[in-house]
Structure 1
Amino acid sequence: MKTKKLVAGMLFIGLCLVSQAQTKKTTSSDPDNLAKDYFSQIMGVANNAMTNTKLYQFVYEWLGTPYRLGGDSKRGIDCSKFSLAVYENVFNTTIGYNSRNQYANVKPIGKSDLQPGDLVFFKIRSKQITHVGVYLGDDKFAHAASSRGVMISNLNEAYWKRYYYNGGRPIDDAKTMTANAGSNDDNKNLN
């Protein structure tokens, strides 16, 4: 009987030590790593693919915003205004006010070379570009969809795969994109 109590006591002490070690490890972690872990789970992007916490935080703050053609606020926004807002607020860069204009201002990037922050363009039932999103990594992109507002989708979903046109990186930022605070101007948009 004493042996059972001794073994149980030792197990209890061992569990307490392991629990305490895990707690210390978690609380002393880098805040950026904690943010990356959180956004990784929310957005379905591997933690090691997350290179710009500010990008993921901005997207997270807009998730669920309703779609509104020409909209540029949390009350409603369209796809090109959303990508414009991302670039103005995260990269301190203006990229154009509609998806076709934005495509004219990028260096085309192959799908396999996309990096977080690159733009992804679609030709949905048209010969012209009609939709744009912001690439997040792991084939995920954020965009303002007319059906569900700002959301995250996968480039490998049949719908998006069918209409995918090309990726692009703004010409001014083709070498490096830095995360600096910017402003969000109210401008007209054709989507």
Structure 2
Amino acid sequence: MIIFSPAFRLRNYLLCPALLAVLLASQPAAAIEGFGLPEDFAPPTSTISKFREFTNRASEVALHAMSLLGIRYKMGGNTPESGLDCSGLVRLVFQQTWGTALPRTAEEISRVGEHVENHDLRPGDLVFFNTLRRTFSHVGIYLGDNKFIHSPSAGGKVRIESMDLAYWKNRFNGARRINDPATGR
């Protein structure tokens, strides 16, 4: 059973139907319980089959990141208690999920793993943006369905956003895949 932090909000979870499909495909009864969805609720078969190709481990990264929704932004922050910046969020999720230690800044993280083309993005991949007039100044974790989770900026909280928004489209710098040390994929 997946446990979400108190900061988790159903409205944020439902913003990412792709992850709901993954959760429902792997744990339908547990996913439906407590969400007020009918017992016979099921996402479209095409959605389920599309996301079954992703490894469970990559889904763990995305789901762990979602458990941090609502944690406040803090520049240089690297714990949920003190707050998280974008790279602090990414580092924490990969350390706690896979035991992988990543560099401290978004720019340094952009040099780790393998390059991924936009059309090959999978949940758990890292997406990079130019938000400070320099490349790779912001990082988030791709969730699927063209959505990503990130810790935005001062006054913000960890949240899910669409990469289809003009702001993010215009600032997209690329994506990287960190290979799971347990599987090498």
Alignment TM class, shorter chain as reference: 0.5 to 0.7
2:56 maps to 1:61: no
Q: What residue is the counterpart of 2:27 in the other structure? A: 32
Give the TM-score taking structure 2 as reference length.
0.66
Q: What residue is the counterpart of 2:6 in the other structure? A: none
Q: What residue is the counterpart of 2:128 in the other structure? A: 121
SS of residue matched to 2:136: coil
Shift of 1:112: 0.8
Q: How does 1:151-170 map to 2 (within 5 A)?
A: 151-170=159-178
2:96 maps to 1:89: yes
**Which residue identity is paired with 2:176?**
G
2:139 maps to 1:132: yes
In percent, how many aligned pairs have the same letter? 29
Contact 1:133 / 1:144 at 8 angstroms: preserved in 2? yes
For structure 2, the residue ranges without an aligned partner over 5 or more in a row are 1-23, 34-42
Alignment partners' CA distance in 2, 1:166 and 1:34: 37
Shift of 1:56: 4.0
Shift of 1:158: 1.0
Higher gyration radius (CA): 1
Of structures 1 and 2, the one with the larger relative CO (CA 8 A, separation 6+) is 1
Name the CA shift for 1:152/1:34 in 2 (closer, same or farther; >3 Å): farther
Give the TM-score taking structure 1 as reference length.
0.64
Q: What residue is the counterpart of 1:98 in the other structure? A: 105
Name the CA shift for 1:54/1:35 in 2 (closer, same or farther; >3 Å): farther
Name the CA shift for 1:35/1:144 in 2 (closer, same or farther; >3 Å): farther
Q: What residue is the counterpart of 2:20 in the other structure? A: none
Shift of 1:99: 0.4
Contact 1:95 / 1:170 at 8 angstroms: preserved in 2? no
Alignment partners' CA distance in 2, 1:30 and 1:101: 35
Number of positions where the alignment pairs a residue of Structure 1 with one of Structure 2: 143
Shift of 1:176: 4.2
Name the CA shift for 1:60/1:127 in 2 (closer, same or farther; >3 Å): closer
Q: What residue is the counterpart of 2:158 in the other structure? A: 150
Contact 1:105 / 1:171 at 8 angstroms: preserved in 2? no
Worse-superposed segment, 52-61 or 99-108: 52-61
Contact 2:62 / 2:142 at 8 angstroms: preserved in 1? no
Which whole-Å deviations, capped at 9, do the CAs of 1:64-111 have from their partners, x for residues lacking one? Answer: 000000111223100001011111112221221110110111211111
Q: What residue is the counterpart of 1:70 in the other structure? A: 76
Alignment partners' CA distance in 2, 1:58 and 1:157: 24
